[in-house]
Structure 1
Amino acid sequence: MGALQRAVEPVGAVLHAARRPASYAGQLREALSTVITAGMWPLGFTSSDLADVGRLEELPSTVETPVLLVHGYGANKSNWLFLRRYLEQAGFARVHAFDYNPLAADIPQLAQRCAECAEQLRGRLGVERIHLVGHSLGGVIARYAVQVLGLEGVDVCITIASPHGGLRLASYGSPLAALSPLASGLQLRPDSEVMTLLRYSARALPTRFVAYYSNLDMIVPARRAMILEPELRATNILVKDHGHLSIVLSRRLAQSVVDQLGAAEGLPGYGSPVVGLPEHALGRHPVAGSAAPGSTRATG
């Protein structure tokens, strides 16, 4: 019975959401996003991790704080083309992507490399702070780098559809596969050492955590994409009617991320950051597209 419940968990959530007409459009959007993501994938091999740091110095920038983007399992930096454009238009010219191969290392090793990339980027740009944004596995890597490895200088750590509550689908693999290059996937099991460490090492940190989730995500169901450890006082934000891939191409997500980082930087017109709520009920969380407290920006 336990295995059956794990199998139907994401499907049940989607079936519940499917009672609304808007859900059909969301599923169609996810299918289209899958095609778009696959088509953009070759664009992720155009340059190395820090090849364009020099170019960033030449761009007009309102914000000195760099933003490091961390893609999901099997993806590459091409996933960030849409969000990156929004960030640069808002004045975040120092936007960079960390590329990695999840088949060549496990989550702690990938988090260590992410931390090294962030420190190298801060050093080369001569700044003290940095923002991290991760999608899916990339969000877990970013959180691990900050929370477990103690990466300093991270002002805001944003995760998008990341399995903070573990991934039930990862439980279906053989434990023997942990000895293979697939270890990073198996470490997303809810009872894995990595996920257990993230739960029990949660504590008050200077970094502000923001977790985006969706009601139509079949890979990472809504509640598993939230950061629910009260010590971290994370802000969980709903991006309604999007799937695991379409959420990255969402205009509402992009604008909300810009609003969160713009508020953190104190940019004019962005108000104050949306903060975490003491309740963790699904319906009480902010919704992407809503203005931050005191914001003068339009919603939608």
Structure 2
Amino acid sequence: MNTRTVITEIAAAGALIGSYPVDWLLKRGEPYFCEPSSEPVILLHGFGGSRSNLLALGAYIRLVGFDNVSYFEYPRWQTLGDSAAQLGRVVEEKSGGSGVHLIGHSLGGTVARRYAVAAPRRAVRSLITLGSPYSYAQWSPREVGIFGDDDPIVPAPIEALTTSAAFARIVTLHNVGHLALIFHPEALRIIGTELRVNRAAESSAVSQ
């Protein structure tokens, strides 16, 4: 890692540590003062993390017009298959037939991908992963994968080695490590754009 990346990773780690007491102070669950107008956006944390790590990302997503945000938490040592099946039950419960947007950091993105690969048609409107473990031969043709070029945990893929259906798009951000991806302005911009592009037609009409 270069010096700039080290500094941003330390700052991101501090923000993540600070998120735990903030989440503790907040009421569990996602309180709504009115009926949500958008289709669900489900955020998935990385290995050993919790929903508290994604509170800032959730706040940003609300600011760009998606007010139906929730968090999927899974046991640290649960298998990918079991976590994906558990996610499927949550999606079925929350989607209401409109489909959901899935955004996962690190292992959370891998769980989201595992579910999306076998998900019913139209169940997943967006699949966005941030520094998530991958396979060069995977089949995830709708996935937007965002990586840091200075990530020591999940190195950015070499695009020439990936199959055409491994990702819809790969974005590699410069001087970015693993944790800072959650807060990076360009990553946030891409997330906001993808959510809007894949928004349900009825939700678009409501927001205009």
Scaled by the length of structure 1, what TM-score is found? 0.60
5+ long unaligned stretches in structure 2: 202-208
CA distance change for structure 1 residues 97 and 140 in 2, over 3 Å: closer, same or farther?
Answer: same
State the match for 1:116 in structure 2: 89
The one-letter code sitting in structure 1 at the alignment partner of 2:144 is V
State the match for 1:39 in structure 2: 18
Find the partner of 2:180 among 241, 246, 259.
246
Indicate conservation of the 8 Å contact 1:26/1:216, yes or no: yes
State the match for 1:262 in structure 2: 196
Q: Give 1:165 shift.
A: 3.1
Which structure has more relative contact order (CA 8 Å, sep 6+)? It is 2
Indicate conservation of the 8 Å contact 1:41/1:75, yes or no: no
The one-letter code sitting in structure 1 at the alignment partner of 2:152 is M
The one-letter code sitting in structure 2 at the alignment partner of 1:231 is A
5+ long unaligned stretches in structure 1: 1-13, 15-22, 167-198, 268-300
Q: Give 1:58 shift.
A: 1.0
Indicate conservation of the 8 Å contact 2:145/2:167, yes or no: no
Find the partner of 2:132 among 125, 140, 162.
162
Distance in 1 between residues matched to 2:34 and 2:160, nearest whole Å: 37
| Matched-pair identity in % | 26
- Match runs of 1:133-212 below 5 Å: 133-147=103-117, 149-152=118-121, 153-165=123-135, 199=137, 202=139, 208-212=142-146
Indicate conservation of the 8 Å contact 2:5/2:176, yes or no: yes
| Structure 1 residue 78 corresponds to structure 2 residue 36 | no
Distance in 2 between residues matched to 1:228 and 1:250, nearest whole Å: 25
Distance in 1 between residues matched to 2:172 and 2:17, nearest whole Å: 25
Q: Deviations over 1:249-297 (max 9, x none)?
A: 2222112200111122289xxxxxxxxxxxxxxxxxxxxxxxxxxxxxx
The one-letter code sitting in structure 2 at the alignment partner of 1:91 is G
Distance in 1 between residues matched to 2:43 and 2:159, nearest whole Å: 18
Distance in 1 between residues matched to 2:164 and 2:172, nearest whole Å: 18
State the match for 1:286 in structure 2: none
The one-letter code sitting in structure 2 at the alignment partner of 1:132 is L
Distance in 1 between residues matched to 2:116 and 2:90, nearest whole Å: 13
Indicate conservation of the 8 Å contact 2:128/2:144, yes or no: yes
Indicate conservation of the 8 Å contact 1:228/1:234, yes or no: no
Q: Deviations over 1:26-72 (max 9, x none)?
A: 22110121122122134445565xx43xx4471664xx221111110
Distance in 2 between residues matched to 1:266 and 1:97, nearest whole Å: 20
Give the greater-gyration-radius structure (CA): 1
Distance in 1 between residues matched to 2:36 and 2:56, nearest whole Å: 19
Indicate conservation of the 8 Å contact 2:133/2:154, yes or no: yes
The one-letter code sitting in structure 1 at the alignment partner of 2:34 is E
The one-letter code sitting in structure 2 at the alignment partner of 1:163 is P
- Match runs of 1:213-292 below 5 Å: 213-223=147-157, 228-265=162-199
Q: Deviations over 1:205-249 (max 9, x none)?
A: xxx211001111011111179993312552111222111111112
State the match for 1:99 in structure 2: 73
Distance in 1 between residues matched to 2:105 and 2:161, nearest whole Å: 14
> Which stretch of the first structure deviates more once superposed, 237-246 or 105-114?
237-246
Over the aligned positions, Cα root-mean-square deviation in angstroms equals: 2.7
State the match for 1:287 in structure 2: none
